[in-house]
Amino acid sequence: MTAAIEVSHLSFSYDGQTDIIKDVSFSIPKGSYTTIIGHNGSGKSTIAKLIIGLLAAKSGQIKILGEELTEESVYNLRRHIGIVFQNPDNQFIGATVADDIAFGLENHCVPQEKMQGIIEECAAKVGMTEFLDSEPTHLSGGQKQRVAIAGILAIEPDIIIFDESTSMLDPQGKASINAQIKALNQEKNLTILSITHDMEEVAQSEHVLVLNQGKVELEGTPAEIFAHEKMLKSMYLDVPFALEFSHACADAGIDFDAQLTLDGVVRALCRLK
C-alpha cells in the first residue's frame, strides 16, 4: 500500500544558508490521523507549506499518494489535498458561505449544475446549513474554520492538513473543530495531518511527530510520546492536562494509570476505591 504522504530527506531554507528543515523523513499511512508538534520556529508550518506545494524544497522528495510533488504535478495533486490555515479571516475568499465553499469547485472546473448540491451537502457535514447566505463578518472564528473545512470537503480530497487551525479560536470553537477533525478521520476515512499546539488534540490522534529545530526528534503514538515528558518540556512543549493530573495522583501515592484524555481520567477516577 502506498503512503498518503511520504517525505524523504527533505531540506528547506528561506535564505539559502540556514536550513529551517534539515533532512526530514517520515511517512503518513492512508487513513491515519497524525499530529505534528514542536515549539515556535521548529519548522512545522513550513513542512505543511512544502507538502501543499506553496514552497519548493531545497533537496529531498515529497510523494503524495505515490506521485512525486513537482511543479507540473502540483496542480493535479491539489485535488487530493486540502489545507486549513490558522487565521480564519485570511482564508475566507467568497462574499458568503456558499460562495466560499464554491471557490474550490470553481477552480477545479466542477460543472455549475452540480455545485449547489455539493455546497449544501458539505455545509450540512460541518453544520453550517443555516448560514449559507451569511457574510464572514457575521460568523465566529470557529464557524469560519468550519466553512474552510466545508470548502475543502467539497473537492473530495484524500488528505486534509490543518495548520494550527484551532489556535485562534476560543475553547468552544477549538473543541468543536477538534471533534470535527476526529469525525472526518473516523467516518470518512480521510488522512489527517494536523499541526498543532493543542495537546488535547494530540492525545486524540493516532500518530505524533515531534519537530525540534527542523528535525524529527520523536515519533510514535501519543502514549509513547508523552512518556518522554522531560524531553518534551525541554523543547518547551506541554503535556495534556489529563496526563499531568495522572502523574500528580501517582506522585501523591494514589494507584493511578497514566491517562491521556479527560474521559480516561474520569473512568479511572470512578474505578478508584
Partner 1 sequence: MNRIALGRYLPLGSIVHEMDPRSKIMIMLFLMISIFIPAGVWGYVLIGIYIMICLVLSKLEFSYALRSMRPMVWMMVFLLIINCFAIRTGTLWFSIFGLGIYSDAIYQTLYIVVRLTLMIIITTILTATTKPLDLTLGIEKLLKPFEKIGLPAHIIAMMISIALRFIPTLIEETQRIMNAQASRGVDMENGSFKEKIMAVLSLVVPLFVSSFDRADQLANAMEARGYDPNKPRTRYKVLHMHSIDYVGMVTSALVLAVCIVLAVVL
Which residues form the catalytic set?
A: 164
For partner 1, the binding residue among 12, 85, 162, 256 (CB under 8 A) is 85
User: Which of 228, 230, 273 is CA-nearest to residue 255?
Assistant: 273
Q: 54 and 247 in contact (C-beta within 8 Å)?
A: no
For partner 1, the binding residue among 8, 25, 41, 106 (CB under 8 A) is 106
Per the structure block, which three cell numbers stand in for 49? 507549506
What is the smallest separation between the CB atom of 209 and partner 1, expressed in angstroms?
A: 21
Q: What value does the CA radius of gyration of the chain take, rounded to a whole number of Å? A: 20
Interaction between residue 80 and partner 1 (CB under 8 A)? no
Q: How many residues bind partner 1 (CB under 8 A)?
A: 38
Q: Which stretch binds partner 1 (CB under 8 A): 29-37, 80-88, 120-128, 176-184?
A: 80-88
Alpha-carbon dihedral of residues 171, 173, 175, 180, nearest 10 degrees?
-170
Q: What are phi and psi of 218, to 5 degrees?
A: -140, 155
User: Which of 264, 171, 186 is CA-nearest to residue 222?
Assistant: 264
* Residue type for position 192: I
Interaction between residue 103 and partner 1 (CB under 8 A)? yes
User: Which of 130, 143, 157, 159 is CA-nearest to residue 92?
Assistant: 143
49 or 58, CB closer to partner 1?
49
What is the smallest separation between the CB atom of 145 and partner 1, expressed in angstroms?
A: 12
Q: Which stretch binds partner 1 (CB under 8 A): 9-17, 147-155, 170-178, 225-233?
A: 147-155
Q: 166 and 88 in contact (C-beta within 8 Å)?
A: no
Residues in the chain: 273
For cell 498518503, name the residue: 4
144 or 207, CB closer to partner 1?
144
* Cα 34 from Cα 259, distance rounded (Å): 19
Q: Are strands 207-212 and 33-37 parallel, antiparallel or unpaired?
A: parallel
Interaction between residue 92 and partner 1 (CB under 8 A)? yes
**Per-residue mark of binding to partner 1, 21-60 (x: CB under 8 A):** ----------------------------x--x-x------
Interaction between residue 155 and partner 1 (CB under 8 A)? yes
What is the smallest separation between the CB atom of 56 and partner 1, expressed in angstroms?
A: 13
84 or 265, CB closer to partner 1?
84
**Binding stretches for partner 1 (CB under 8 A):** 49, 52, 54, 75, 78-79, 82-83, 85, 87, 89-95, 98-99, 102-112, 115, 119, 135-137, 151-152, 155
